[in-house]
Structure 1
Amino acid sequence: MHTRNTKCLMICRSASFLLVFIALFSVFPLHLLPCFLAGFIMYEIILALTVLVEYLVKAQVARWVSIMFLSILLILLIVVTASKLIGFLLHDCQNLAGFDATASNLLRDAQRTLSPLITRYLPLNIDELKNQLINWLHENLVMQTFSRNAAHTVATMLIGVVLGAMISLQSNGKQKLHTTPLQDALLDRLTVLSEAFHNVIFAQIHVSLCNTLLTGCFLFGILPIFELHLPFSKTIVMLTFFTGLLPIIGNLISNTVIFLIGLSISLEAGLISLTYLIIVHKLEYFINAHIFSGRIHAKTWEILLAMLVFESTFGITGVIAAPIYYAYLKAELRKYDLI
């Protein structure tokens, strides 16, 4: 009897691994990664917020209070974003002279300071830039594809948010009755996946905050010492934080933007930016390695290798999912003392 129970548990565990494996890799062809991420983020936020709310209200209603608060916050965020976008379209887009002048100056400075090998591929003025952009959009039908993908992404993210809230209500710590061995095995897999997701996301937020702080010090502290001021500094800081949420490549994107903008101002600004970014990149390498090794016990080269494999297999979505999947794999292997 004991042997039969042990065999049943092993079969259920193997089946749970297979089902989770199929579900995780079905995310890519079904384009459900935004839903996956939004659901897990909502779930984690509700759990963290519930702990704080329980100090004020009874534990039974703390999770409902957390969900209501996040729902109101999400609605306000959508309303504010929509109003800002409408305001930009109705007011800022009516007077683009300032933007055109700034862009023209940047293009003119780039033509003067950059190598001819680079400037031959750059537009001469803002009108040529607009024409190239319109022709490219027309040839590739980018706007139609972008609109369709954006609508799908927003819809799946909202569905993921709802699912994350619903699942958080089910996992309220109460004793679960009439569970089967397969259910228990699946819950074990999902628990490990949730912990891996939690560790990766919060580790990457810490990394992004460090990158943003160092970038802010450079833009608002070091460059003014040399009497240099980069345009769009606040936008660059925001870009650094949001791109920093993408492991490794996010930092490269923000650094490239800073270097190109600095080079468009003057060769001196470009060299100062490049020198600082090289020094900071070495510092960030150790900071990032320390944060990730403490959270998911993975070295930077391991994460980079996983991202390269996933990018070649699944594209840009694979780059985003690779750290989470890799952290989950290592967590499962450690759980059974395989590594």
Structure 2
Amino acid sequence: MERQYNWVKSSSYLLAAGGILAVLGLHLLQALFAGMLVFLLVQLAQPLVGRVVAGSRGKLVATAILAILIIAGMVGLGLWIASMLHGGAGLDAIWSKMAETLDSANDVLPPWLLGSLPSSGPELKAEAVHWLREHAPELRLLGKEAGLAAAHILIGMVIGAMVAVHEVSSRSERRPLAAALHERVGTFYKAFRRVFVAQGKIAALNAFFTGLYLLAVLPALGIHLPFGKTMVLITAIVGLLPVVGNLISNSIIVMISFSVSPYAALLSLLFLIVLHKAEYFLNARIVGGEIDAKAWEILVAMVLMEALFGFGGVALAPVVYAYIKAELKAARLI
């Protein structure tokens, strides 16, 4: 009996590992995250449903309606973000402004720094296009595959909603392998929930202080940066990616600041250094508190996963690391 139990548990670990590799290899990460996010939001609202609705059938119907509303809200939010990022003060305008800034940098920056930068806006664009072509499989939300990625996200949300509704009504006893797999999936979901909540807190704090700096502190000093609200929105979105998100938002803010004046760029650089020094300790406290891991551990996991799986590995690394650590702790190996 014990031998069968060990075989079943080992099989569930192998199937869980295969599932993670399949998600990365088939580029289904966006569907996985969308589904787990919908499931998480339904689970968070579940206590409210229990207070308002009585009876198992009533709770089932209420949960289904709640899941539909959550999907509709997420789709609406996604469309609003897309309209903001592609509007008149969106990414295209920011890109043009950054190219103009590089074009005019020859008269301001020292020669040793210019040697390491593209000499003009068109050169910057050519290098970016080359990079995008090399990394096309990892950037599935761009170009002709945007529709497929959107379909994956929508299907993922529907699956997450269906699983959440099924959890309310399911009371059947699971057989050994099914029970072991359910345990693996449950542990992975808990890891996602802890990482998402922790990184969400960090992204919100980052966006708040960045907005305070761009929309209040700089105007009080007589410095008015273009695209302030768009940059805050970008900071909030990419802030959900540990480390990498900060690099993206910081680069944009410093470049746009430089388009106003070198003094504004220096001030922005100093602010971002101070903010992210403080954020490093917050990261260690918030993420470390949620998944019991140091910031450097997460960074090592991200570097390894990026080398193995590219951009998708970076996004999934904190969750996979938290999941592996939880499984090792449950097995009393660490």
Category of TM-score, reference length = shorter chain? 0.7 to 0.9
TM-score under structure 1 length normalisation: 0.83
The equivalent of 1:65 in structure 2 is 65
1:268 CA drift (Å): 1.1
1:251 CA drift (Å): 1.2
Aligned equivalent of 1:269, options 264, 271, 275: 264
1:176 CA drift (Å): 1.7
The equivalent of 2:281 in structure 1 is 286
After superposition, the C-alpha distances for 1:270-289 in whole angstroms (9 at most, x for unaligned) are 11111111111111111111
Task: Structure 1 unaligned segments of length 5 or more: list them.
Answer: none
Q: 1:313 to 1:99 in 2, by over 3 A?
A: closer
Q: Distance in 1 between matches of 2:204 and 2:80?
A: 24
1:254 CA drift (Å): 1.1
Aligned equivalent of 1:147, options 143, 146, 149: 143
Q: Distance in 2 between matches of 1:101 and 1:169?
A: 46
| Residues 1-339 of structure 1: pairs in structure 2 closer than 5 A | 5-58=1-54, 59-74=59-74, 76-77=76-77, 84=83, 106=101, 109-116=104-111, 117-118=113-114, 121-123=118-120, 136=129, 146-172=142-168, 174-177=170-173, 179-339=174-334
Q: Distance in 2 between matches of 1:140 and 1:15?
A: 39
After superposition, the C-alpha distances for 1:188-209 in whole angstroms (9 at most, x for unaligned) are 1111111101001111100101
Higher deviation after alignment, 166-175 or 298-307: 166-175
Task: Tell me if structure 2 keeps the 8 A contact 1:109–1:265.
Answer: no
Task: Tell me if structure 2 keeps the 8 A contact 1:35–1:161.
Answer: yes
1:158 CA drift (Å): 1.4
After superposition, the C-alpha distances for 1:89-119 in whole angstroms (9 at most, x for unaligned) are xxx69xx9x9999678645643432234528
Q: Distance in 2 between matches of 1:31 and 1:290?
A: 32
Q: Distance in 2 between matches of 1:234 and 1:161?
A: 28
Q: Distance in 2 between matches of 1:292 and 1:102?
A: 35
Q: 1:333 to 1:75 in 2, by over 3 A?
A: closer
Task: Structure 2 unaligned segments of length 5 or more: list them.
Answer: none
Task: Tell me if structure 2 keeps the 8 A contact 1:43–1:164.
Answer: yes
SS at match of 1:333: helix
Q: Distance in 1 between matches of 2:42 and 2:10?
A: 31
1:232 CA drift (Å): 0.8
Letter in 1 for 2:62: A
Task: Tell me if structure 2 keeps the 8 A contact 1:53–1:65.
Answer: no
Q: Distance in 2 between matches of 1:158 and 1:172?
A: 22
Q: 1:159 to 1:249 in 2, by over 3 A?
A: same
Letter in 2 for 1:49: A
1:337 CA drift (Å): 1.6
Q: 1:104 to 1:196 in 2, by over 3 A?
A: closer
Q: Distance in 2 between matches of 1:135 and 1:108?
A: 16
Question: Radius of gyration: which is bigger?
Answer: 1
Letter in 2 for 1:121: P
After superposition, the C-alpha distances for 1:21-53 in whole angstroms (9 at most, x for unaligned) are 111111122111111111111111111122223
Q: Distance in 2 between matches of 1:101 and 1:312?
A: 31
1:264 CA drift (Å): 2.5
Q: 1:72 to 1:272 in 2, by over 3 A?
A: closer
SS at match of 2:168: coil
1:78 CA drift (Å): 6.6
Higher deviation after alignment, 289-298 or 115-124: 115-124
1:136 CA drift (Å): 4.9
Q: 1:198 to 1:173 in 2, by over 3 A?
A: farther
TM-score under structure 2 length normalisation: 0.85
